[in-house]
Structure 1
Amino acid sequence: MTDYETRPIMPPPAPYGEQPPPRRGRGPITASVLVGALVLGGGAGVAGAAAWQEWGGDGSATNGGTGSSASIPVADTGDSPAPAGSVEQVAAEVLPSVVKINVVGEEQGQPASGSGSGIILSEDGTILTNNHVVELAEGGGEISVSFENGDEAAAEILGADPLTDTAVIRAEDVSGLTEATIGKSGNLDIGQSVVAVGAPFGLDSTVTSGIVSALDRPVSVGTDAEGQSTTYPAIQTDAAINPGNSGGPLVDMSGAVVGINSSIRTTGESTGQGGSIGLGFAIPMDEVMPVVEQMLAGDTPTHARLGISVSDVEQQAGELPSEGAQVQEVTPGSTADDAGLERGDVITRIDDTLITGADSLVATIRSYRPGDEVTLTYRRGGDEERTTLVLDSDAS
């Protein structure tokens, strides 16, 4: 039994924009529409220039038809060095460590393609990205990586972990790449300035900025064939994140990577890929780096577990909503079973973290490692109880 909510996961009324397979094939369509718009704009510009040459003769500016020429002064303010800690300075430092990832493969027996972003971890081509960016290439697809200087290289998957939506790939026959600086997401504060870098809609080397809007936001973006959910305690930001930003870095103002941009919230009003509405989510680096290190070592990633299935708290008619995660089933022999948890118990805290629902519990447990000791607070029959337990591992 794995740690996931037992109630069916229905598509949320405002779905996350950058999700695994169902949306993956739409990226090229959106990008082609965007390119069409750019071409149309360019065509209009050319037509305007042709008309000006036809009407204006030699192209000199005229004033009211009097024939007198006019000159518009241009101020040359110079290219000043970027101030330390500015978005400009951070962008200059981080851009060489960010790549665009293109993937082709098959989906439901049909050719499909997509694109995303990645973070360079080593000078010889090890790159961190989202699992949902590259999973299309599993089983015979192809991956190519475009670097900030315009170079390209083929790449292969070294490891992937759907539960944390992370993957590590390696670009072939490259060297001397600029490694990203990995920071501590635990140092972030709400309201702190951050910068997102990636290739939204295929537009590589795109930089946006904003603030940390919230921390430890439970974000669930789907389940696998075994019912295990991809849920994590996200960094929420209003920095513009769009389809194609997935796998790229969210960095603090020192240029250190504190998160992996992974999903967005949309209004649900469009049938196509949604755009940024200021609700973007990044996987925090502190929680995911142990899994990344396992993949780099060639190991199968492991995750902490309680050994229960849970749901949001069942509400009785006429009662106000109640926060917590309600136990639906306890796996015999699990750490939760040994601690005496029972069906119907409502878990309200893990250590000092408030548990608001099923996703909140799963996201919080995912932030720990197997073998960690935690204090669990729960309600049973109106009484509040506490127990300390050591988290299990999902290793087979």
Structure 2
Amino acid sequence: MSEPTTDPWGQPLPQHPHHPPQMAVPAPEPRPKRARPSRWVWPAVLVLGLLAGIVGGAGGAALWERYAPDDWRDDTSSSVTGLSGSTTVSQAPIDPDDASVANVAQALLPSTVQIIAEYAGEDDGATGSGFVFDTEGHIVTNNHVVASAAKDKGPVYVVDTAGHKEKATIVGRSSVYDIAVLDVPGAKDLKPASLGAAAALRIGEPVVAFGSPLGLSATVTSGIVSALNRPVTTGESADDLSYINAVQTDAAINPGNSGGPLVNLLGQVVGVNSAIATAGGTTQGEAGNIGVGFAIPIEQVKITAEQLLTTGKASYPIIGAKVQTGTDDPAGDGAEVISVDDGTPAAKAGLAKGDIVTAVDGQRITDGIGLIVAIRTHQPGETVEFTVNSAGRTKKVSVKLAGVSDPAS
């Protein structure tokens, strides 16, 4: 079986009839991104300094408590004020008795936008999707939708479902989590989406995907949750690798959907569509949906977005070790530590070369990518428990996660 790849979400089609005449038809993104579940073929060794985790610190921990899944369906408050002073909406817009794809589409389309990011080397730039994150009108999308425009200082535009096109500024980006936040000063009356909880999802539960696949704005597709906590990574090099503890769905996701919301039948955003798997190696513009799509859980998105809104920067935890992630990775047996830097959290915890990490806080780890993704459910400053097979003996060690700045910040 060929290695799965991630499409860059940028293939254009002819102009949608509802778009205003001045809107350019977006071209593909400059580089394809690759989605690899943890047991698929990898480069021999991934060196990141290592073990990324979710952003946040104390603020992130507070946000996690605020959005705890136990309260997601019965939340009586209509909004939550974030660290930046922005307000996010959490109350479900749809009553359970009225749950349907049609009602979800009606509720969420006004909160969904198309994004056009121009950069050198392309006539029209990249296209993707996004959604209104808060009552201040900030837009959340994928970093890879706007990364090239950010590097080339090219303009970024947001087009709402009515066809109104406004210039946006990039508030902040996280390449580690593949999240970007935009501000649209000229936009008016943007409707914030209701934010739910991916942790409350069940396998087989219906979900709805929104976005602008193949340049077709305001497109709605539906499917189910195919899997939860799926370790997936995207990117072609250590500079643009993103790890996702993903929600897997069979809802049709195609080039141009990237950054759009994945929504439950109560009308709450539970993830950000970010990657697809395709059969066979593909080049830009050739990849398409085969029923295997991946979304970043909304819990991670909330914390990353709030940190970007607060400081313009994101951070992620490290333990200061390298793990085996290539074809020699003993999939199913755990994550093999291949080196530990002196003075790091890993060294202080007693981890050593040759150790095999088999669980994090009781969650089974099958390989190196699974370990990295498991760490991403935590924040810098947290202490996690590793179960380790060291020279044939099983032990438990506590590791306090350090933090570093996201390279895109």
User: AA paired with 1:92?
Assistant: Q
How far apart, in 2, do the equivalents of 1:288 and 1:144 lie?
21
Aligned residue for 1:246?
258
User: AA paired with 1:337?
Assistant: A
Q: Percent identity?
A: 38
Pair 191,286 (structure 1): closer, same or farther in 2 beyond 3 Å: same
Compute the displacement of 1:322 (Å): 4.3
Q: CA RMSD in A?
A: 2.5
Number of equivalenced pairs: 326
- Scaled by the length of structure 2, the TM-score of the pair is 0.74
1:393 aligns with 2:403: yes
1:106 aligns with 2:116: no
Aligned residue for 2:110?
96
Pair 375,183 (structure 1): closer, same or farther in 2 beyond 3 Å: same
Alignment of 1:352-371 (within 5 A): 352-371=362-381
How far apart, in 2, do the equivalents of 1:321 and 1:205 lie?
40
From 234, 242, 262, the equivalent of 1:230 is 242
Compute the displacement of 1:332 (Å): 1.2
Compute the displacement of 1:189 (Å): 1.3
Aligned residue for 1:181?
194
Aligned residue for 1:215?
228
User: AA paired with 2:251?
Assistant: A
Aligned residue for 1:159?
172
From 266, 269, 274, the equivalent of 1:262 is 274
Aligned residue for 1:119?
131
- Runs ≥4 in structure 1, deviation > 6 angstroms? none
Aligned residue for 1:14?
4
Compute the displacement of 1:281 (Å): 0.2
- Scaled by the length of structure 1, the TM-score of the pair is 0.77
**Greater relative CO, 1 or 2 (CA 8 Å, sep 6+):** 2
Contact 1:311 1:327 in 2 (8 A): yes
Aligned residue for 1:77?
none
Pair 90,392 (structure 1): closer, same or farther in 2 beyond 3 Å: same
Aligned residue for 1:305?
318
Pair 170,344 (structure 1): closer, same or farther in 2 beyond 3 Å: same
CA deviations 1:170-222 (Å, max 9, x no partner) are 11222221101111111111111111011101111111111111111111112
From 75, 93, 98, the equivalent of 1:84 is 98
CA deviations 1:37-57 (Å, max 9, x no partner) are xxxxxxxxxxxxxxxxxxxxx
Alignment of 1:16-35 (within 5 A): 16-18=6-8, 27-28=11-12, 31=13
CA deviations 1:217-261 (Å, max 9, x no partner) are 1111125555x7311111000000001000000011111111000
Any unmatched runs of 5+ in structure 1? 1-11, 36-81
Q: Which has the larger radius of gyration?
A: 1
Secondary structure of the 2:385 match is strand
Secondary structure of the 1:105 match is coil
Aligned residue for 2:304?
291
How far apart, in 1, do the equivalents of 2:364 and 2:148 lie?
36
Aligned residue for 1:197?
210
User: AA paired with 2:301?
Assistant: V
Alignment of 1:26-65 (within 5 A): 27-28=11-12, 31=13
How far apart, in 1, do the equivalents of 2:167 and 2:4 lie?
36
From 275, 278, 302, the equivalent of 2:288 is 275
CA deviations 1:358-385 (Å, max 9, x no partner) are 1111111122100112110111122211
Contact 1:287 1:368 in 2 (8 A): no
Any unmatched runs of 5+ in structure 2? 18-95
